């Protein structure tokens, strides 16, 4: 599938999800009405309940980690959140940067941007902004941010090298990123790998863990480390939408794994 087609699928899916609650997304197969063809996002999500700055209205349950936990965000920092959705990680980051800092969220889904801006308005924040843009070609200046964060989004970007090159470009010298994402160990069956619905659900868009880390290093980042890693178990009833029971058994026998990682690196 062409990259532009994949991006349209993601925009459509996340446009639907923007109108739904966290509970609905966690209770449905894929977080969109009538779909039931891909991953239940609660498989990935971590709890934000104990984090300062957490706003339940902005939490649609779509993350796969807690990137702010390892982001080393300081008072006064300028922070960029890639694929900011309804603003969940932005509001947590805003608590960390304080009144003197600035948090920018970027997303290419109009419905998500509208929801995020409404949430920020309700909270009366004047140092959180949301801009429309593609992560592969961000409408943002060079050397502008102390920290870049992202939560289960880079998966959805067809050209990951281009995305990480953009992250490198917008970070200040000495700046760093903390990104939670989904990666693989072992090859997924072809039918699962090519399934557009599973791409929107963050599974077939995932690449090999070592390839993911190599892309980051090739762009020029230093001190690249995985801070947290957990296994993601996709239920057989979801996998059976795309592959046979025999293929599922082979998948397990080969030890193919889907993982959530939180990785950091410095410019």
pLDDT tens digits along 116-154: 999 999 999 999 999 999 999 999 999 999 999 999 899
The single-letter DSSP state of residue 45 is P
**Nearest residue to 133 (alpha-carbon basis) of 11, 221, 17:** 11
Give the model's pLDDT for residue 92: 96
Residues 132, 18: Cα–Cα separation, whole Å: 15
pLDDT band at residue 4 under the 50/70/90 scheme: confident
Give the model's pLDDT for residue 63: 84
Tell me which CATH homologous superfamily contains domain 3-266. Answer: Vaccinia Virus protein VP39 (3.40.50.150)
pLDDT tens digits along 98-109: 999 999 999 999
- The mean pLDDT value of the chain amounts to 85
pLDDT at 263 over 70: yes
Give the model's pLDDT for residue 68: 97
pLDDT tens digits along 157-169: 989 999 999 999 9
Residues 115, 16: Cα–Cα separation, whole Å: 12
| 47-55 long-range Cβ contacts below 8 angstroms, 24+ apart | 48/88, 48/92, 51/92, 51/95, 52/92, 52/95, 52/96, 53/91, 53/92, 53/93, 53/94, 53/95, 53/96, 54/88, 54/91, 54/92, 55/87, 55/88, 55/91, 55/119, 55/123
């Amino acid at each position: 599938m062409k990259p532009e087609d994949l991006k349209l699928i993601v925009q459509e899916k996340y446009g639907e999800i923007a109108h739904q609650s966290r509970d609905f997304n966690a209770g449905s197969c894929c977080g969109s009405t009538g779909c039931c063809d891909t991953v239940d996002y609660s498989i990935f999500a971590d709890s934000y309940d104990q984090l300062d700055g957490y706003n339940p209205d902005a939490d649609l349950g779509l993350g796969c980690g807690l990137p702010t936990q390892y982001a080393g965000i300081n008072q006064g920092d300028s922070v960029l959140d890639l694929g900011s959705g309804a603003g969940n990680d932005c509001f947590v980051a805003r608590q960390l940067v304080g009144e003197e800092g600035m948090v920018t969220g970027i997303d290419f889904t109009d419905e998500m941007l509208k929801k995020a801006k409404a949430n920020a308005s309700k909270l009366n924040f004047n140092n959180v902004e949301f801009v429309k843009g593609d992560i592969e070609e961000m409408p943002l200046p060079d050397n502008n941010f102390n920290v870049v964060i992202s939560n289960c989004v880079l998966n959805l970007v067809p050209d990951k090298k281009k995305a990480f090159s953009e992250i490198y470009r917008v970070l200040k010298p000495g700046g760093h990123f903390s990104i939670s994402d989904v990666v693989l160990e072992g090859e997924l069956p072809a039918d699962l790998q090519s399934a557009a619905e599973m791409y929107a659900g963050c599974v077939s868009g995932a690449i090999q863990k070592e390839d993911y880390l190599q892309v980051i290093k090739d762009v020029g980042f230093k001190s690249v480390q995985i801070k947290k890693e957990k296994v993601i178990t996709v239920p057989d009833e979801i996998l059976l939408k795309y592959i046979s029971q025999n293929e599922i058994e082979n998948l397990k026998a080969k030890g193919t794994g889907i993982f959530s990682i939180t990785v950091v690196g410095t410019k």
